[in-house]
Amino acid sequence: MLLVEKLSKIVETLGETPSVRIFKKGFERAVELLEKYGECGVFSWAPRMREWLKDPNYIFWLGRMG
């Protein structure tokens, strides 16, 4: 069973394009930042940051930077 899980993960990864991998990484980072910034009150003094963290272009940029 463990071998099947590992192989399915490899096959899934092979089917992804570099752009999809970058976007996924950026999306994970955006979710993390939304949570952190919400807890710290960043959105009260930088409300547009929330919009940026939901913008596909910004999410892609986050993926490229990480």
> Could you tell me if residue 60 is inside a domain?
yes
> Could you tell me if residue 1 is inside a domain?
no
> Could you tell me if residue 6 is inside a domain?
no
CB 50 within 8 A of CB 36: no
The pLDDT tens digits for 14-66 are: 778 889 889 989 999 999 999 999 999 999 999 999 999 999 999 999 999 97
- The pTM score is 0.76
Instruction: Quote the number of domains for the chain.
Output: 1
> Could you tell me if residue 44 is inside a domain?
yes
> Could you tell me if residue 30 is inside a domain?
yes
> Could you tell me if residue 39 is inside a domain?
yes
Domain of 24 in residue numbering reads as 18-65
Tokens of 36: 């952190």
> Could you tell me if residue 12 is inside a domain?
no
What number of helices (H) and strands (E) belong to the chain?
Answer: 5, 0
